[in-house]
């Protein structure tokens, strides 16, 4: 037979639970009009990935493979290449010549983002990536790389610009 303490504990749990229910009943109803209006996503929403650049426009990825090692779905494919004086793509010794993410397999766990030592890979807010053609779900570096910041002139771009001017 339940003692008085257990009865009071159970009763207070019911009151607490009902309090949450009543509070929610009094809150205004929120209706999302997606797709007629843009979806409202939280700041930390994990959408399709973005590959970031630094303030000079250089790619932040230094092809260290830590994201690929951390990925539980094995869906990141990277080919590394060396930066040279003639061709400098990132601030490190190497850059990702090829960087693919297979969204057929990605579970948006964010482990790759956490593993990256240079904050090169982040989650954007893109989520409309559904497709009937699975081959379109392999995103390449060119699909994920952010634009060069306004006013920035990465060395490799500057060299190309000079060459084409002559
Ligand atoms: S979010 Fe998770 S599953 Fe997707 S690429 Fe990153 S580590 Fe892999
Ligand atoms: S995205 Fe980050 S963790 Fe992945 S290879 Fe590039 S620098 Fe390394």
CATH of the domain at 134: 3.30.70.3270
- Measured in Å, residue 58 CA sits from the centre of ligand 2 at 14
In the chain, the N- to C-terminal Cα span, in Å, equals: 95
* Residue whose tokens read 């159970």: 10
**pLDDT tens for residues 22-33?**
999 998 888 889
Q: Model pTM greater than 0.85?
A: no
Q: Is residue 130 part of a domain?
A: yes
Is residue 33 included in any domain, yes or no?
A: no
Choice from 77, 120, 123, 140 to test ligand 2 binding pocket (greatest atom count within 8 A of CB) = 120
Query: Does 13 fall in a domain?
Result: no
Per residue in 87-141, pLDDT tens?
A: 999 999 999 999 999 999 999 999 999 999 999 999 999 999 999 999 999 999 9
- Please count the structural domains in the chain: 1
In a domain, 30, yes or no: no
Structural domain boundaries enclosing 143? 49-165
Name beta bridge partners: 82: 94
Measured from the alpha carbon of residue 124, the closest ligand is 1
- Closest ligand 1 atom to 108 CA: 1
Q: If 0-12 CB within 10 Å is exposed, 13-18 middle and 19+ buried, where does residue 65 land?
A: middle
């Amino acid at each position: 037979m339940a003692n008085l303490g257990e009865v009071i504990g159970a009763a207070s749990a019911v009151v607490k639970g009902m309090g949450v229910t009543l509070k929610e009943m009094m809150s205004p109803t929120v209706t999302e009009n997606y797709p007629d209006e843009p979806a409202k996503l939280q700041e930390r929403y994990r959408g399709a990935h973005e590959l970031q650049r630094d303030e000079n426009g250089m790619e932040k990825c230094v092809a260290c493979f830590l994201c690929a090692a951390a990925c539980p779905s094995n869906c990141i494919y990277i080919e590394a290449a060396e930066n040279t004086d003639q061709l400098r793509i990132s601030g490190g010794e190497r850059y990702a010549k090829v960087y693919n993410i297979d969204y057929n397999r990605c579970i948006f766990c964010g482990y790759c983002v956490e593993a990256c030592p240079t904050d090169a890979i982040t989650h954007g807010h893109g989520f409309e990536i559904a497709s009937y053609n699975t081959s379109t779900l392999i995103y390449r570096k060119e699909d994920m790389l952010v634009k060069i910041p306004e006013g920035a002139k990465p060395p490799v771009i500057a060299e190309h610009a000079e060459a084409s001017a002559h």
